[in-house]
Structure 1
C-alpha cells in the first residue's frame, strides 16, 4: 500500500471513529457560523460605508478580514461537515446555501474585495458539486458555477497560478483541458506550488487508462 492509500485508510478510520453529533449540536454549530457570517457582513457594510472614517475603512484590509471570514466562518465549518459525511449531509446543504447567499451579497455590496468574493463563491460551488451524487445535472450546474467564478477571478488576476489550478480541478474528466490549466498555473508570475504533483498524477492516470485500453483491444494475427 502506497503512502496515499495509507493516508486515505487512516482518514477513513478516523471518520468512522467520530462519535455522531445530535441534531441540537448541529443546530448550535449552524447558528454559530450563521452569526459569524452576519457579523462579518455587517462589519464590511459599516467599514466601507461612504460616511466611515478613513481609519475604519482601512480596518478590513489591515486585518485581512475577507480571508479571516473565509477561514473561520466558512471553510473550517465546511471541512468539519465534509469529514462527518454522510451524517452531516443535510446540514452541509443548508450551510452551503447560507454561505453562498452571504458571499454573493457581499460581492454586490462590497465590490472593493470582489476578487476574494469571486474565489470564495467558486470554492463554495466546488464543495456543493463534490457532495452531489444523485443528480448529475445539479452536479454539472454547480461545477459550471465554480468554473464561471474562478474564470472571472483569473481574468482579473491572470498572474495568480492558484486560480488556474482550481480551474484544472473542475475540468475533470477532460485530461487535455486539465493539462492546459495546469500549464497556465505553472507559467504564471505566481505559480501554484502543488501543480507539479497534480500534473504527474494526471499523467499517471492517463497512462494507466491507455494501458488498460490497449489490453482490451483484440490481438491481430
Structure 2
C-alpha cells in the first residue's frame, strides 16, 4: 500500500466523526448531512496526500498534462471543508452539541492538506511550477477571504492564512508592482492579527521580514 494511503486510512480510523446521542429530528437531518460531508473530506484528504507525495518525489512531473485533475482534488477538499463550516452553523444552533469544526480540526486540516503542503512542494520546484503556485495561492486566497467574512469564529486563523498566502505571492510575483501589492496585503493581515494578539513575537517578525 502506498505510504500516503496508509497514513490516510490510519487518520480516518482515528478521527471518525462520532454521532451524539438523542438528537432532535431536525438536527438528525443536519447531522447526517455533516456525516456525509465529513466522509467526503476524509476521502479528499487521502487523495490530496497522495498527490503531494507524487509531486514531491517526481521532479519530472508533467504539469501541463496532469495538473488540472490533480488540483481539482485540492479545490474539492477546500470546498467540502467550507461546506462543513456552513452546515455546522445550522447544527450548532443546539449549544449542547458544541463546535464540531474545532473538535475535528476542520480548518487546520483544510489549510494543511488542501493548501499549504501543496504550496510548499510547488515552491521547491520553482521556477517551472510558478504558474501553478500562483493558481493555488489565488484560489486559496479567494476562498479564505470568503470564509474570513462569513465565519468570524475562526477570525485569527483566516488572518494568519491570508497573511501567509500574501507573503508567498509577494515572493513569487515576477512583476514589481504586483509584488508590492501583495506585500501591502500581507502587512495588513499581520496588523489585524496584532490587534488581537498584541506582543506576539512571530507577528512582528512577519512584518519585519516583508
TM norm structure 2: 0.67
Distance 1:86 1:38 in 2: 28
Which residue is 2:162 aligned to?
Answer: 121
- Kindly indicate whether residue 81 of structure 2 is the aligned counterpart of residue 43 of structure 1: no
How big is the shift at 1:95?
1.5
The reply on whether 1:145 has 2:191 as its aligned counterpart is: no
- C-alpha contact 2:194 2:200 (8 A) present in aligned 1: yes
Task: Tell me, yes or no, if structure 1 residue 59 matches structure 2 residue 59.
Answer: no
Report 1:16-95 matches (<5 A): 18-49=59-90, 52-54=93-95, 57-95=98-136
**Which protein has greater RCO, CA pairs closer than 8 Å, 6+ apart?**
2
User: Distance between the aligned counterparts of 1:158 and 1:86, measured in 2?
Assistant: 37
Q: Deviations over 1:160-181 (max 9, x none)?
A: 32212211121xxxxxxxxxxx
Residues 55 and 77 of structure 1, relative CA distance in 2, 3 Å threshold: farther
CA distance in 2, matches of 1:151, 1:111: 17
Question: Equivalent residue of 1:48, what SS?
Answer: helix
Distance in structure 2 (CA, Å) of the matches to 1:127 and 1:47: 31
Residue in structure 2 matched with residue 136 of structure 1 by the alignment: 176
Gaps of 5+ in 2: 1-55
Greater Rg over alpha carbons, structure: 1
Contact 2:115 / 2:140 at 8 angstroms: preserved in 1?
yes
Match of 1:178 in 2: none
| Distance change >3 Å, CA 55–CA 23, structure 1 → 2 | farther
1:2-21 → structure 2 map (5 Å cutoff): 18-21=59-62
Structure 1 residues 109 and 23: CA distance shift in structure 2, 3 A: same
- RMSD (Å), alpha carbons: 2.0
Structure 1 residues 121, 56: CA separation in 2 closer, same or farther (over 3 Å shift)? farther
Residue 162 (str. 1) matches residue 202 (str. 2): yes
Which string of whole-angstrom CA distances, capped at 9 and with x for unpartnered residues, describes residues 8-44 of structure 1? xxxxxxx9x8223242321122101100110111111
- 8 Å Cα contact 2:173-2:179 kept in structure 1: yes
CA contact (8 A) 1:103 1:117 kept: yes
TM-score (normalizing by structure 1): 0.64
Number of residue pairs aligned between Structure 1 and Structure 2:
154
User: Structure 1 regions of 5+ residues with no counterpart?
Assistant: 1-14, 171-221
Structure 1: which 4+ aligned runs deviate by more than 4 Å? none
Stretch moving more, 83-92 or 97-106: 83-92
CA contact (8 A) 2:193 2:203 kept: yes
